[in-house]
């Protein structure tokens, strides 16, 4: 006869396991398919040429509502990772849908083995207010101004509703990603200049509220099949300068940055957004040499290790003044990737800056010379493929 104490212990162990699973559910990236996807992502990345691996790390925009030979080259020869769309691509719904369909079909028609026909991320800046790049669907007032008119208890419901409606429009047109939500904090206008460049785009000046509302936006969009981007890490709110035109410097100690500006990101990361976008801002108290875009301290020590972010880290547009007025974009791209960046966003072309093709050629040459850089390219390429698989894009 079996020992009754043994049977009782077995039952108790089972109950403990049951409640542990209920209370501490596994993270989405730990679901059974995730491990298989990671193995598959590494295998496919290894089968790509260096030019194609590096191509996956680019997120580019091409002006106009018609496909171009250059766009086709990027998609078919260099395995472009993502395409960003803006106003010039969207004069009407019909042409926008046709253009997006062309990109999707071209990526899948390549003369390569079936498994290496990798779908594209298709994204835009679709956020309430003046920064909404495509105005063919529902539009909404600037976030901060509108939220101040709503009782605090109703703000979550409002953010959830508009985030869902924006995602529905994006899906209808063919998008699978969005450069939203903005998690920078609101700071009162500067006394001298009256400026705060991102103030109208944010949710709140309260770190917890900004995090809660940003988390809702991430959840609502991703539940509707549109991948979210939390930006601009670690915070663009507390400056009077606009990184579109110049390089801001924020002299804030780590404790304040961590407890204030980074708090919304800490909260939103719990919803597992697909992307995190960095700011072109120098924070000399943490890195005296490089802005967050290029900083190993921010990219590796804080984002990867301290915040345990598993998704794709992407730059803000490299053609912004903060970058092109202070750095060679080829070197920016190299250092960013080597120090932990995954994707390079380039939405424009300017005479005074290297072209995406120049940057691609530069990185390809370094891939063959710098083993550490090569390892980082392979790591980012695999993470990009893994993200596309986990979210049903690939």
pLDDT class for 376, splitting at 50, 70, 90? very high
pLDDT average, residue stretch 107-116: 78
Element housing 74 (H / E): helix 69-76
What is residue 51's predicted lDDT score, i.e. its pLDDT? Answer: 97
pLDDT beyond 80 at 372: yes
Range name among 7-11, 142-146, 177-181, 356-360 with the lowest pLDDT average: 7-11
Bridge partners (DSSP) listed for residue 231: 182
Q: Which fold has domain 29-390?
A: TIM Barrel (3.20.20)
What is residue 202's predicted lDDT score, i.e. its pLDDT? Answer: 96
What is residue 185's predicted lDDT score, i.e. its pLDDT? Answer: 97
What are the percentages of helix, strand and coil residues in the chain, rounded to 5? 50, 10, 40
What is residue 311's predicted lDDT score, i.e. its pLDDT? Answer: 98
d(CA 283, CA 265): 17
What is residue 20's predicted lDDT score, i.e. its pLDDT? Answer: 41
Token output for 283: 């924070």
Distance from the Cα of residue 264 to its chain's centroid: 15
d(CA 60, CA 85): 9
pLDDT beyond 70 at 162: yes
The domain locations on the chain are 29-390
Please provide residue 231's backbone torsions phi and psi, each rounded to the nearest 5 degrees: -150, 160
pLDDT beyond 60 at 115: yes
**Strand ranges (E), the chain:** 58-61, 82-85, 121-124, 229-233, 275-278, 312-314, 344-346
What is residue 19's predicted lDDT score, i.e. its pLDDT? Answer: 40
Residue, of 14 and 374, whose pLDDT is higher: 374
pLDDT beyond 90 at 98: yes
Q: What is the CA radius of gyration of the chain?
A: 22
User: Half-sphere exposure of 56 toward its Cβ, with a 13 Å CA cutoff?
Assistant: 28
Q: Tens digit of pLDDT for each residue in 191-211?
A: 777 778 888 999 999 999 999
Q: What's the N-to-C CA distance of the chain in angstroms?
A: 55
d(CA 279, CA 199): 15
Residue, of 31 and 201, whose pLDDT is higher: 201
pTM given for the model: 0.90
């Amino acid at each position: 006869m079996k020992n009754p104490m043994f049977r009782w212990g077995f039952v108790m162990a089972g109950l403990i396991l049951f409640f542990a699973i209920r209370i501490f559910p596994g993270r989405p990236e730990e679901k059974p398919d995730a491990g298989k996807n990671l193995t598959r992502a590494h295998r496919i990345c290894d089968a790509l040429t260096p030019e194609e691996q590096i191509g996956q790390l680019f997120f580019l925009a091409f002006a106009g509502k018609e496909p171009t030979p250059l766009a086709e080259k990027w998609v078919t020869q260099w395995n472009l990772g993502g395409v960003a769309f803006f106003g010039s691509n969207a004069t009407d719904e019909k042409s926008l849908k046709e253009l997006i369909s062309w990109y999707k079909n071209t990526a899948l028609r390549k003369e390569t083995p079936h498994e290496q026909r990798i779908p594209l991320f298709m994204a835009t800046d679709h956020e309430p207010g003046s920064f909404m790049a495509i105005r063919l669907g529902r539009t909404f007032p600037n976030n901060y101004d509108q939220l101040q008119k709503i009782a605090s208890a109703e703000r979550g419901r409002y953010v959830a509703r508009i985030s869902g409606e924006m995602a529905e429009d994006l899906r209808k047109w063919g998008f699978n990603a969005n450069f939203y939500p903005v998690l920078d904090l609101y700071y009162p206008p500067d006394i001298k200049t009256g400026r705060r460049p991102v103030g109208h785009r944010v949710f709140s000046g309260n770190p917890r509220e900004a995090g809660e509302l940003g988390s809702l936006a991430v959840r609502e969009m991703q539940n509707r099949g549109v991948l979210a981007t939390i930006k601009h890490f670690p915070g663009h709110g507390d400056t009077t300068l606009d990184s579109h035109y110049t390089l801001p410097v924020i002299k804030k100690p780590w404790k304040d940055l961590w407890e204030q500006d980074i708090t919304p990101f800490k909260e939103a990361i719990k919803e597992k957004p697909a992307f995190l976008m960095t700011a072109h801002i120098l924070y000399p108290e943490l890195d005296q040499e490089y802005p967050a875009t290029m900083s190993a301290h921010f990219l590796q020590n804080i984002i990867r290790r301290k915040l345990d972010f598993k998704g794709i880290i992407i730059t803000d547009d490299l053609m912004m003044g903060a970058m092109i007025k202070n750095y060679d974009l080829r070197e920016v791209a190299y250092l960013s990737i080597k120090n932990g960046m995954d994707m390079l966003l380039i939405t424009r072309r300017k005479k005074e800056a290297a072209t995406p093709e120049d940057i691609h050629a530069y990185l390809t040459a370094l891939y063959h010379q710098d083993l550490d850089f090569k390892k980082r390219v392979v790591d980012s390429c695999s993470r990009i493929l893994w993200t596309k698989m986990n979210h049903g894009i690939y």
